[in-house]
């Protein structure tokens, strides 16, 4: 049985106080095991990063960027292998895995701009013969804790920018699908990154708590569920660390009466069911304005869902694959059961899907639930599966109130032909990422990603310009070189 281990100081290791099974979600069978790192292994990774930091910090940004250029080329060259690893352990269909990887590569491209991004600001003669400037200096050792649903992309949100800013990194990927992250880290070493600058430890809460408590770790980035995000943020900040912790979501799409319904249905079919709905930006609630809009939307959505193909990643004709584990499959089905028990209408039922040849896989079919209300548990919580719920309201204002009242504020969108309505929506909706006729408004790499309310803990968003600020400290220097022979008197007033 293959054991997926760690990468510490450039060396593969399999230190483990125990192992955990890795499943192929399409078959339900154990495919590998992952080494669960003991505290000593995590501390070794931190020590390696700490030892590598002085030389790496002193490396010019242009040289750091050149390594990122080579890294990008290696990611593209080895894309098929990376997508295969994602499919085997996560279950994503190849086209979906390729899309994830491409968005990660775009963040590497942005990191290649390090010499420009790290330029400070300079002001000459702020006073007599006095100049002032700012610099962005690295923090030291920083860490990332990443989720199962994007095993390649989310780590690439974090460490490329952290590293080009002069930091050294310890990554703790999801133990459910760790192979892609480990393989990609080895490509970074192949690109020329010195040993110790990038380290990977696989583990569970023991590893996480070690990263959160070790005084050498200066900052922590996290993506996952809101309860864990709250814990990560509270623990990290209590230990004096900078922290950004991205949590859960319940993303709504408003369907206005004037919307191009065919385009809206096509967009929501992909946004709700792509990647089996295991996306923090998945569109999981359609809010139809008016009963006529609701009826037309349900009719067309059922038609769009009929030909959807669900199955293993080995068949590229499939639209999406299984969910990550048996437990998660049961959780998603439980939410559908709950909605039905609360009085909602199951228009398309994916609870009993069986895929020929993969009867033991963790599959849930595309599910459409109508007549949902805000009081239902299935509405309040994040389902994280291929489930689209439909709510009917009488006005755009009521739709916006519904969204603004929800505890999550990650992503949302509106489908309309009315520019005035779209502008009002963007100005007044309490959500961090907003789409206008765009169902998945995930920012490109040179903007930043993050929600509001219980979808984000911390002041700075992920990747893009905010990442430069998160992974550096601003230092401002003011200097003066008095003219030779000039002796200045004592000044007690505050300088101005």
Closest CA to 283 of 93, 441, 147, 99: 441
Active site residues: 280
Residue 70 to residues 274, 326, 392, 457, 464: CA-CA distances in angstroms? 31, 39, 51, 34, 20
| CB contact at 8 A, 233 and 459 | no
Q: Is the dihedral of CA 121, 49, 448, 405 positive or negative?
A: negative
Closest CA to 382 of 404, 357, 409: 409
Alpha carbon distance, N-terminus to C-terminus of the chain? 70
What is the C-alpha separation between 173 and 150, in angstroms, rounded? 10
User: What are 334's two structure tokens?
Assistant: 């439980």
Residue 145, sorted as left (phi over 0), alpha (psi -120 to 50) or beta, turns out to be beta
Count of all residues that appear for the chain in the document: 496
3-39 in b/e form (b: 16+ CB < 10 A) is ebbbbbbbeebebbeebbebbbbbbbeeebbbbbbbe
* DSSP letters spanning 313-334: TT-TT-SB---S-HHHHHHHHH
| CB contact at 8 A, 52 and 196 | yes
- Judging by DSSP bridges, how do beta strands 251-255 and 198-200 pair with one another? unpaired
Strand partners, 200: 7, 171
Closest CA to 244 of 451, 39, 409, 474: 451
Within 10 A of 123 (CB to CB), how many other CB atoms are there?
A: 11
């Amino acid at each position: 049985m293959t054991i997926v281990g760690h990468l510490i100081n450039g060396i593969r290791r399999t230190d483990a106080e125990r192992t955990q099974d890795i499943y192929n979600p399409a078959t339900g069978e154990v495919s590998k095991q992952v080494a669960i790192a003991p505290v000593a292994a995590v501390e070794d990774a931190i020590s390696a990063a700490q030892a590598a930091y002085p030389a790496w910090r002193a490396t010019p940004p242009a040289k750091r960027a050149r390594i990122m250029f080579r890294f990008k080329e290696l990611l593209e060259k080895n894309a098929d292998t990376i997508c295969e690893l994602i499919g085997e352990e996560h279950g994503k269909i190849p086209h979906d895995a390729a899309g994830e990887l491409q968005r990660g590569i775009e963040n590497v491209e942005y990191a290649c701009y390090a010499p420009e991004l790290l330029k400070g600001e300079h002001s000459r003669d702020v006073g007599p013969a006095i100049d002032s400037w700012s610099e962005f200096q690295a923090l030291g050792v920083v860490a990332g804790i990443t989720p199962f649903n994007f095993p390649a992309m989310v780590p690439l949100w974090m460490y490329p920018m952290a590293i080009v800013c002069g930091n050294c990194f310890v990554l703790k990927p999801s133990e459910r699908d760790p192979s892609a992250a480990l393989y990609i880290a080895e490509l970074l070493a192949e690109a020329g990154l010195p040993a110790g600058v990038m380290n990977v430890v696989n583990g569970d809460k023991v590893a996480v708590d070690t990263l959160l408590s070790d005084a050498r770790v200066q900052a922590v980035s996290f993506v996952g569920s809101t309860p864990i995000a709250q814990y990560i943020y509270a623990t990290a900040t209590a230990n004096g660390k900078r922290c950004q912790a991205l949590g859960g979501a319940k993303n709504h799409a408003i369907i206005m009466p004037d919307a191009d319904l065919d385009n809206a249905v096509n967009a929501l079919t992909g946004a709700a069911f792509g990647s089996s709905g295991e996306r923090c930006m998945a569109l999981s609630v359609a809010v139809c304005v008016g009963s006529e809009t609701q009826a037309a939307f349900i009719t067309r959505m059922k038609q769009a869902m009929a030909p959807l193909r669900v199955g293993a990643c080995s068949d590229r004709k499939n639209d999406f694959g299984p969910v990550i584990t048996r437990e998660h499959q049961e959780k998603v089905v439980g939410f559908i059961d709950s909605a039905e028990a609360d009085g909602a209408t199951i228009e398309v039922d994916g609870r009993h899907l069986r895929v020929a040849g993969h009867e033991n896989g963790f599959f849930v079919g595309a599910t459409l639930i109508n007549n949902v209300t805000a009081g239902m548990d299935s509405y309040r919580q994040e389902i994280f599966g291929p489930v689209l719920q439909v709510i009917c309201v009488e006005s755009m204002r009521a739709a916006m109130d519904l969204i603004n009242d929800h505890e999550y504020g990650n992503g949302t969108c509106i489908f309309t032909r009315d520019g005035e309505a779209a502008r009002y929506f963007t100005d007044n909706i309490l959500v961090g990422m907003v789409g206008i006729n765009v169902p998945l408004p995930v920012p490109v790499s040179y903007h930043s990603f993050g929600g509001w309310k219980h979808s984000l803990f911390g002041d700075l968003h992920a990747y893009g310009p905010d990442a430069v600020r998160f992974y550096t400290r601003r230092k401002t220097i003011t200097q003066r070189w008095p003219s030779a022979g000039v002796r200045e008197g004592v000044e007690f007033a505050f300088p101005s």
